[in-house]
Amino acid sequence: MTLLKLGIVSLLGRSLLDAILPPRCPSCGETVGEQGTLCPACWAKLRFIAEPACERCAVPILQAPPGIVVCPACVISPPAYDRARAALRYDSASAPMILAMKHRAKLQAVQAFGAWMTRAAADYRSADGLVPVPLHRWRMLHRGFNQSCLLARMVGRTIGLPVLDQVLVRVRATPSQQGLGGVERARNMGRGVFDVPERRRSLVQGRKLVLVDDVLTTGSTLSACAEALRRAGATNVDVLVLARVVRGDPMTISSID
């Protein structure tokens, strides 16, 4: 039996087990009334990202004038994607659930995650498709599933967008980093890591696409993906994530210059 099959079998086994056992809160394990729902205490701790937030990177902003807001970091160094939306803050309340999905294949909360992401994706309904961030091949074999793909499927089903899970691939070779500075290194890394295979280019050319991932940390992986999609001819690349890391206190933007 291959590693992939083993992964799927153990995943199915766990899902069956989850269906038989009494429903538990995906965050703390407390018994709850319905499968996939959080207990009231964990629910109260979650911090959703509402407006105002930066149009480009989804960082929450405490106060801002009405309209489109871009945070100072994105003004100085804009990401390679056009817009980003995040459902939640990645913090001590959301991290255990997200990590349980990713590393222990605890999938009870996936439906709720999908619903929260769908709400955050309200501006993306006119897109042509959702593109999950691909996993490393060995990680995919080990885990048996790609959490970004699962999330994209949940969102796609609700808003009626196709999930294009074959258009972006991780290529093994990373170009030589010798003699490059920090910024060039980052750019060089991105260029070598993701690509759109020739036979899939027609799915990307001239399309408005939404990259889907579980967590946005620095945005460098998503930027590398966005660059690969653009090189293949995508006209617009937005980002949708379940959670976003927010460092420091939310800022206030008093005016848009």
**By the criterion CB under 5 A, which residues form the site for Zn ion?**
25, 27-28, 30, 39, 42, 54, 56-57, 59, 71, 74
Closest separation in Å from C-beta 27 to Zn ion: 4
Nearer to Zn ion, 59 or 242 (CB): 59
Beta-carbon contacts of residue 113 (< 8 Å; ≥ 6 apart):
87, 101, 151, 154, 242
**Beta-strand pair 169-170/194-195:** antiparallel
Residue with smaller CB distance to Zn ion, 39 or 100: 39
The least distance separating Zn ion from the CB of residue 61, rounded to whole angstroms, comes to 9
Distances (CA, A) of 92 to 28, 46, 97, 251: 12, 9, 10, 21
Distance spanning both ends of the chain, measured CA to CA: 61
**CB contact at 8 A, 36 and 226:** no
Q: Pick the closer one to Zn ion by CB: 85 or 143.
A: 85
Min separation Cβ 93 and Zn ion, Å: 9
Distances from the Cα of 166 to the Cα of 47, 91, 185, angstroms: 33, 31, 27
Considering the complex, what minimum distance in angstroms separates the CB of residue 128 from Zn ion?
24
User: Among all chains, which residue has been given the structure tokens 């001819």?
Assistant: 233
Minimal distance, residue 149 CB to Zn ion, in Å: 26
Nearer to Zn ion, 27 or 223 (CB): 27
Nearer to Zn ion, 42 or 228 (CB): 42
